[in-house]
Amino acid sequence: MTEETVRLAEETARVVSERVKAGKVSPIEEIRANVALASAGIERDRAGKELEAARKQLAATWGSAIPQFEKAEGILDAIFPIPSLSQLAERLFQNPDLARWATEIAQRRAAVDLEQSRGIPDLTLMGGIRRYESTGDNVFIVGLSIPLPLFNRNQGGIQEARDRLEKGEEERRAAEVRVATALSEAYRALSTALIEATSLKEKVLPGAEQAFEAVNEGYRLGKFGLLDVLDAQRTLFGSRAQHLRALADYHQAVAEVERLIGEPLEVTRGRP
């Protein structure tokens, strides 16, 4: 987009320069047009540096210090309707922060059962043969031993395990609230970005482009002044930048929502 902005600024500066040489307008207008062109060039250079930094950050995600690619493929202008918040909330059980608690709670419940089993006395069955020398008889003897847990029923271990289970359930509930709140905030950002990007593309940008073309052509014919051209140019550039920011916000919000629900939005949109 910055390259297109510079191209339009260069075209405006060229037209102004021609009119100055023809003696139709003051040289001051050429200075103003060149200032606008220089500003567009600065924005292009800044965008180039940000792009280079983003390339390095992307390469760092797979452990590369130097980017080995020229560009990342993607369609920034591709936006789609989004599911309702209630549809997305139904997928929160897939969230990694919540899914791990299912295993954690199961383990802590098993720990309670284990500690309770340790408080139950173990039965010991004994058997053997005894010979009475006086009579010469052999007698089979069976015995049953049951310890009486009068002092140690593992109450401390059981209570500790129960406390850990209760704490885990509280932490799970807190995680559920935290994730649900994060989803609500991400959905709000996603909805806002979608509405803004759609409105800018369908309503604002077409009008700004038409106004700039009309004023630019009118300037060639002497119907408008340079200030009118620069104002229309500034409005067009600002609208394009705003649209670009809205698209970036949309895709960032999509990524955040997908992280929270644990699946792509395309899959969610395809479900009833």
Both 2 and 107 in one domain: the answer is: no
**pLDDT at residue 115 in the model:** 74
Contact (Cβ atoms closer than 8 angstroms) between residue 233 and residue 225: no
* Domain interval for residue 27: 1-55
**Strand, coil or helix: 90:** coil
Flag whether 251 is in a domain: yes
Both 91 and 17 in one domain: the answer is: no
Query: Which candidate, 25, 44, 9, places its Cα nearest to that of 232?
Result: 9
Both 113 and 192 in one domain: the answer is: yes
Number of domains making up the chain? 2
Flag whether 234 is in a domain: yes
- CATH number, position 93: 1.20.1600.10
DSSP label of 84: -
With 0-12 CB in 10 A as exposed, 13-18 as middle and 19+ as buried, what is 221?
Answer: exposed
DSSP label of 25: S
Buried-exposed string 82-98: b where 16+ CB fall within 10 A, e elsewhere: bbebeebbebbeebebb
Which residues are CB-contacts of 20 (< 8 A; sequence separation ≥ 6)?
26, 27, 29, 30
Both 206 and 262 in one domain: the answer is: yes
Low-confidence ranges of the chain (pLDDT < 50): 150, 272
Both 209 and 254 in one domain: the answer is: yes
**pLDDT at residue 146 in the model:** 55
Both 263 and 196 in one domain: the answer is: yes
**Strand, coil or helix: 81:** coil
Helix (H) or strand (E) holding 113: helix 96-118
pLDDT in tens, 191-245: 999 999 999 999 999 999 999 999 988 988 888 888 898 899 989 989 999 999 9
**pLDDT at residue 210 in the model:** 94
**pLDDT at residue 130 in the model:** 65
* Dist CA 125 CA 7 (whole Å): 96
* Dist CA 49 CA 55 (whole Å): 10
Both 194 and 110 in one domain: the answer is: yes
Phi, psi at 130, each rounded to 5°: -120, 140
**pLDDT at residue 149 in the model:** 55
Helix (H) or strand (E) holding 51: helix 27-60
Both 86 and 217 in one domain: the answer is: yes
Both 13 and 104 in one domain: the answer is: no
**pLDDT at residue 272 in the model:** 43
Both 1 and 117 in one domain: the answer is: no
Query: Which candidate, 228, 222, 230, places its Cα nearest to that of 32?
Result: 230
Both 50 and 89 in one domain: the answer is: no
**pLDDT at residue 52 in the model:** 86
Which residues are CB-contacts of 77 (< 8 A; sequence separation ≥ 6)?
201, 247
